[in-house]
């Protein structure tokens, strides 16, 4: 087993990996940019080294510098987390050349699965169902010909894409030219590669992903599915495990397909196969994420398997030590991604100092975070403040626990997406579990927070409650013939004090 691991990342995922290392008796080495000098992951690590100025290209993406720091610190391995260099095959190759273990799959595996066209070709050859469409890069003329062949609607996608970048849905013929132009331009800007391919658009799709674990001895298992259909602009917002209404038969079939996909590329480590599930129960391979996923915690909650520790053990040359028969589903888990964004102002970023930070707790509640009270959210990186995970014996218990945890979660000094999550958790279609990837656009106005009605009603209710509480205190004091502390206080002042203490308004 490794004695020391460098974490080539920041924020909540760096903290998550550091905790796993410490539980395994492994020293953790952090890196930090100039603005992250006082970050939580730096405070938790055993050692920390500067890696450059705030821009990621000059710090967290400097491959040679990071490997140099790892060797100087005596770290035998590097865990990339997610984002930054996590799916960079060249970085994995560099680590191998320099004698540092990369905790993840080999570079050629990442390149094969990171390129969507190559991945589709590989999956088709392995017998894994793929969305009807092309399996080669297309010129604009070829793309137009394919669209005419398979018919609208279609998705135009970047071959090197991910995270919703370089994607355009085309429903009408007059949208084709603009869709091709914008997808190609965005792909070039985001990935340095403007190649595109075409997929048939699956109507009312659900986004279901299967977590896999594989070692270097040919062992590969899946840890069941996650439902990731609550999305805004192709970005996941809320995830659940297990999926809603997934039958045992469908679960087993999708699990077998995910394992076949991993074995087809000789995968090693933790990975996720993402599928689209249509209304008829047909599923299609979408892509494979060759890293730990943001939402891995809900799979850990329902299986009891520590995915990050499993990654470390496999990278150290150990066997998985878990057979498919050893894992089962216990209860239901939900994750809400809390971002420093203003849901009342088109989700614009809300950087700044966190003046008050009071995360929820209690049974079945987990908070993975990289911030603390007094920390600053900078505009240089992903605006995630925390991941809030709740577990319950049933889905309804998990939902109620998430509602309670969201009410308890107090973050002041910046705006967060908490009010938006609260609305989702009260929506009848979400509560019934019968949503697809179009939920936010179709049922929540694209994510526009309802403030004109719901927000005002909430404020009025709180003020009325404050007035009622003041009247009760005054009446008790009168009956007792004594003065109760605060009984002469204005109800508006009482309301203001409650608000400052975090009682409902954020």
Q: Give the pLDDT confidence score for residue 117 in this predicted structure.
A: 86
Q: Give the pLDDT confidence score for residue 159 in this predicted structure.
A: 87
pLDDT band for 381, please (50, 70, 90 cuts).
very high
Q: Quote helix, strand, coil % in the chain, to nearest 5.
A: 40, 25, 35
Cβ partners under 8 Å of residue 395, min gap 6:
240, 244, 332, 433
Choose, from 16, 62, 120, 291, the residue flagged as catalytic. Answer: 291
Q: Give the pLDDT confidence score for residue 474 in this predicted structure.
A: 62
Q: Give the pLDDT confidence score for residue 487 in this predicted structure.
A: 41
pLDDT digits (tens, 9 = 90+) for 181-240: 999 999 988 888 999 999 888 888 999 999 999 999 999 999 999 999 999 988 899 999
Q: Give the pLDDT confidence score for residue 450 in this predicted structure.
A: 62
Asked whether residue 165 carries a pLDDT value surpassing 90, the answer given is: no
Q: Give the pLDDT confidence score for residue 47 in this predicted structure.
A: 98
Q: Give the pLDDT confidence score for residue 164 in this predicted structure.
A: 74
Q: Could you tell me what percent of the chain has a pLDDT over 90?
A: 79
Q: Give the pLDDT confidence score for residue 502 in this predicted structure.
A: 52
Q: Average pLDDT, stretch 101-122?
A: 93
Give the chain's mean pLDDT.
90
Which ranges of 45-106 does DSSP label H, i.e. alpha helix?
Answer: 63-73, 89-97
The CATH code belonging to domain 132-200 is: 3.30.1490.20
- Whole-angstrom Cα distance, residue 301 to residue 164? 27
Fold classified for 4-103: Rossmann fold (3.40.50)
Q: Average pLDDT, stretch 19-34?
A: 98
Domain over 206-447 is classified CATH 3.30.470.20: yes
The answer to whether the 4-103 and 206-447 domains have the same CATH topology is no
Residue 4 phi/psi, 5-degree rounding, is -150, 135
Asked whether residue 506 carries a pLDDT value surpassing 70, the answer given is: no
Asked whether residue 380 carries a pLDDT value surpassing 50, the answer given is: yes
Q: Give the pLDDT confidence score for residue 191 in this predicted structure.
A: 85
Domains in the chain: boundaries: 4-103, 132-200, 206-447, 454-500
- Whole-angstrom Cα distance, residue 479 to residue 467? 19
Residues 224 and 246: beta-carbon distance below 8 Å: no
SS3 349: strand
pLDDT digits (tens, 9 = 90+) for 419-461: 999 999 999 999 999 999 999 999 998 877 765 444 454 455 4
Residue 413 phi/psi, 5-degree rounding, is 105, -25
Residue 289 phi/psi, 5-degree rounding, is -90, 115
- Whole-angstrom Cα distance, residue 440 to residue 207? 14
Higher per-residue confidence, 489 vs 94: 94
- Whole-angstrom Cα distance, residue 491 to residue 501? 15
Give bridge partners of residue 36 from the DSSP assignment: none
Q: Give the pLDDT confidence score for residue 486 in this predicted structure.
A: 40
For residue 242, cis peptide bond before it (omega within 30 degrees of 0): yes
pLDDT band for 504, please (50, 70, 90 cuts).
very low
pLDDT digits (tens, 9 = 90+) for 386-415: 999 999 999 999 999 999 999 999 999 999
Residues 47 and 73: beta-carbon distance below 8 Å: yes
62 is catalytic: no
Determine the number of helices (DSSP H) and then strands (DSSP E) in the chain: 17, 22
pLDDT digits (tens, 9 = 90+) for 474-491: 655 555 554 334 444 555
Q: Average pLDDT, stretch 301-328?
A: 98
Asked whether residue 503 carries a pLDDT value surpassing 50, the answer given is: no
Residue 321 phi/psi, 5-degree rounding, is 75, 10
Q: Give the pLDDT confidence score for residue 161 in this predicted structure.
A: 72
Helix H or strand E encompassing 116: helix 116-125
């Amino acid at each position: 087993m490794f004695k020391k691991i460098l974490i080539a990342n920041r924020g909540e995922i760096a903290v998550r990996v550091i905790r796993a290392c410490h539980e395994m008796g492994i020293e953790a080495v952090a890196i930090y940019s100039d603005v992250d000098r006082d970050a939580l992951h730096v405070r938790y690590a055993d050692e920390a080294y500067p890696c450059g100025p705030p821009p990621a290209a000059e710090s967290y993406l400097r491959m040679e510098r990071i490997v140099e720091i790892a060797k100087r610190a005596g770290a035998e391995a590097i865990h990339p987390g997610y984002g930054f260099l996590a799916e960079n095959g060249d970085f994995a190759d560099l680590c191998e050349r320099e004698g540092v273990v990369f905790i993840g799959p080999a570079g050629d595996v990442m390149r094969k699965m990171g390129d969507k066209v190559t991945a589709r070709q590989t999956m088709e050859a392995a017998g894994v169902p793929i969305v009807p469409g092309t399996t080669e890069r297309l010129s604009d003329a070829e793309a137009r010909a394919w669209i005419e062949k398979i018919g609208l609607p279609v998705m135009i996608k970047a071959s090197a894409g991910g995270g919703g970048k370089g994607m355009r849905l085309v429903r009408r013929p007059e949208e084709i030219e603009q869709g091709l132009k914008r997808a190609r331009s965005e792909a070039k800007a985001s990935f340095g590669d403007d190649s595109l391919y075409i997929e048939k658009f699956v109507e009312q799709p659900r986004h279901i992903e299967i977590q896999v674990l594989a070692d270097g001895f040919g062992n590969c298992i899946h840890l069941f599915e996650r439902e990731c259909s609550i999305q805004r602009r192709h970005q996941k917002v809320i995830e659940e495990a297990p999926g809603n209404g997934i039958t045992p038969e469908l679960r087993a079939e999708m699990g077998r397909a995910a394992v076949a996909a991993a074995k087809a590329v000789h995968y090693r480590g933790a990975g996720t196969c993402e599928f689209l599930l249509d209304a008829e129960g047909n599923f299609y391979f979408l892509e494979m994420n060759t890293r730990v996923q943001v939402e891995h915690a809900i799979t850990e909650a329902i299986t009891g398997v520590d995915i990050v520790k499993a990654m470390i053990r496999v990278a150290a040359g150990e066997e998985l030590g878990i057979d498919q028969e050893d894992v089962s589903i216990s209860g239901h888990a939900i994750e809400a991604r809390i971002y420093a964004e203003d849901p009342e102002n088109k989700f614009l970023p809300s950087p700044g100092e966190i003046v008050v930070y009071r995360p929820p707790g209690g049974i079945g509640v987990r908070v993975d975070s990289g911030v603390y009270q007094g920390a600053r959210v900078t505009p240089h990186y992903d605006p995630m403040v925390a991941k809030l995970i709740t577990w319950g014996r049933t889905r309804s218990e998990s939902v109620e626990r998430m509602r309670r945890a969201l009410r308890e979660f107090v973050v002041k000094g910046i705006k967060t997406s908490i009010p938006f999550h609260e609305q989702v958790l009260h929506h009848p279609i979400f509560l019934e579990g019968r949503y697809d990837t179009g939920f936010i656009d179709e049922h929540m106005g694209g994510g526009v927070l309802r403030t004109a009605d719901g927000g005002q009603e909430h404020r009025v209710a709180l003020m009325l409650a404050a007035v009622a509480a003041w009247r009760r205190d005054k009446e008790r004091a009168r009956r007792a013939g004594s003065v109760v502390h605060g009984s002469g206080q204005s109800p508006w002042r009482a309301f203001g004090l409650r608000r400052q203490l975090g009682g409902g308004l954020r």
